[in-house]
Amino acid sequence: MDAPWRRAAVALAVATLLAGCSPGPDAAPTSPGSADSPSSPDSPAASETPSDDGVEEPAEEPSDEPAEDSSEEPAEQPAEDPPDPISMAALAEADLTGGDLRLGAVRERTAAYTSYDVTFASTTAGKGTAPLRISGVLNVPTGRGPSPAVVLAHGYIDPAVYVRGQGMTRERGFLAQRGYVALHVDYRNHAESTDDPRIETAVRLGYAADVVAAVHALRRSRDVRVDPERIAIFGRSMGGGVVLKALAAEPGLVAAGVAWASVSSLEGENFDHFQRPDAPTAQLRAGFRGRHGLPDEDPRFWRGVSPRPSFDQVTDPVLMVHGRFDDTCPPRWARETQRALTRAGVDSTLEWYDDGHAFGPAFVAAMNRTVQFLRAEMPA
């Protein structure tokens, strides 16, 4: 076989093998399961079969053709396509930056802490993209520090009526009274934050970028003394999903993550549960402006913006807290997310309380358990 023909055959074989290993389209998620990792059985090595007559095969005739040069470079591998810009893969590839924490007006002073209006820097989709300014509220415990810190990701509140610091006021105060710097993130398009024009189609990936930016802002602050090795993120409801996305996109960024009453870790389920009942299908489809379809029409997109398929990237311990009587985020979602985290090798715990979505009677008990978890993962 001449050398050019052999090289062409090798290249064709490599391309065929790669095509055979490529994943096919994901199955459409059903209403608000985890992706099973594909597996292929090992092929047994071919065994040599001895000749029945015991006669040795004749040696191959010597060839006049020159021996193939074994030092030739292997055929080039085909380049991978860039990820969809609206996906967990793109979020993970982005250089998510943040900083420039600015303290504004004092909101409250107590013996335990001082509360400030603040802003900090984020970006639309990582370094090199449009800068954003995110507003929030910061509680700083009394004392010299450095203190451990928790970044708070609030649940869904209509941005048209949302006001600065809304949604996790109790958690912020509870943590500050126990010595934690607590930074509540308003998110882009909320309160005094900069608007992101992609917000309707980006499925809240930008909110995760803002939470990551808040962590960087605390680490780099000269005005607030934070222990850079003792920072956690804590979200509730929609914010629980934001926390899971941030943990998967930026492994090792923080010491721990907490998700209370979280939405599903599959975005198709969230859409079916919260948005599909609210409007006719044609109106919902039009809202995506042709960028993608509904979950049953475009399952690959919806899995791509979900944190669950990326749980194998999470390296930080996770505490999940859920109410047995939650009628907003079904308890089944918490069980399935925690099982998926465990299957992915994540150190995860799910705690149940006899309470609903908002946590009323069980709030103090659940917060005490959360602080216990934070102290264990971020010891002084």
Output 351 or 73, whichever has higher pLDDT: 351
Whether residue 164 is predicted with pLDDT greater than 80 in this model: the reply is yes
Left, alpha or beta for 83 (phi > 0: left; psi -120 to 50: alpha)? beta
Peptide bond into 146 cis (omega under 30): yes
Whether residue 45 is predicted with pLDDT greater than 90 in this model: the reply is no
CA distances from 278 to 28, 156, 202, 263 (A): 21, 15, 19, 17
Output 82 or 310, whichever has higher pLDDT: 310
Tell me what pLDDT residue 284 has.
84
Please tell me the distance from the alpha carbon of residue 66 to that of residue 86, in angstroms, as a whole number: 53
Where b means 16+ CB within 10 Å and e means fewer, 3-36 reads eeeeeeeeeeeeeeeeeeeeeeeeeebeebebbe
Please tell me the distance from the alpha carbon of residue 244 to that of residue 80, in angstroms, as a whole number: 26
Tell me what pLDDT residue 77 has.
61
DSSP character string of 281-319: HHHHHHHTTTS---TTT-HHHHHHT-SGGGGGG--S-EE
Tell me what pLDDT residue 31 has.
36
Q: Diameter of the chain by CA atoms?
A: 97
Please tell me the distance from the alpha carbon of residue 345 to that of residue 352, in angstroms, as a whole number: 21
| Among candidate residues 90, 173, 82, the one with its CA nearest the CA of residue 129 | 90
Where b means 16+ CB within 10 Å and e means fewer, 271-308 reads bbbbebeeeeeeeeeeeeeeebebbeebbbbbbbbbbb
Q: In this predicted model, what pLDDT tens digit does every residue of 294-343 receive, in sequence order?
A: 999 999 999 999 999 999 999 999 999 999 999 999 999 999 999 999 99
Tell me what pLDDT residue 6 has.
39
Whether residue 112 is predicted with pLDDT greater than 50 in this model: the reply is yes
Whether residue 59 is predicted with pLDDT greater than 60 in this model: the reply is no
Q: In this predicted model, what pLDDT tens digit does every residue of 254-302 receive, in sequence order?
A: 999 999 999 999 999 999 999 999 888 888 888 776 778 899 999 999 9
Please tell me the distance from the alpha carbon of residue 193 to that of residue 235, in angstroms, as a whole number: 19
- % the chain with pLDDT above 70: 79
Lowest-confidence range among 36-45, 73-82, 335-344? Answer: 36-45
Tell me what pLDDT residue 244 has.
98
Tell me what pLDDT residue 48 has.
37
Q: In this predicted model, what pLDDT tens digit does every residue of 170-224 receive, in sequence order?
A: 999 999 999 999 999 999 999 999 999 888 777 889 999 999 999 999 999 999 9
Whether residue 165 is predicted with pLDDT greater than 70 in this model: the reply is yes
In order of their start, the domains of the chain are 97-266+306-377 (3.40.50.1820)
Tell me what pLDDT residue 280 has.
87
Q: How many residues does the chain have?
A: 380
Section 66-81 average pLDDT: 57
- Note whether 199 and 189 are within 8 A (CB): yes
For the whole model, what pTM was predicted? 0.79
DSSP state at residue 86: S
Whether residue 54 is predicted with pLDDT greater than 90 in this model: the reply is no
| Among candidate residues 199, 118, 111, the one with its CA nearest the CA of residue 152 | 118
Please tell me the distance from the alpha carbon of residue 108 to that of residue 177, in angstroms, as a whole number: 13
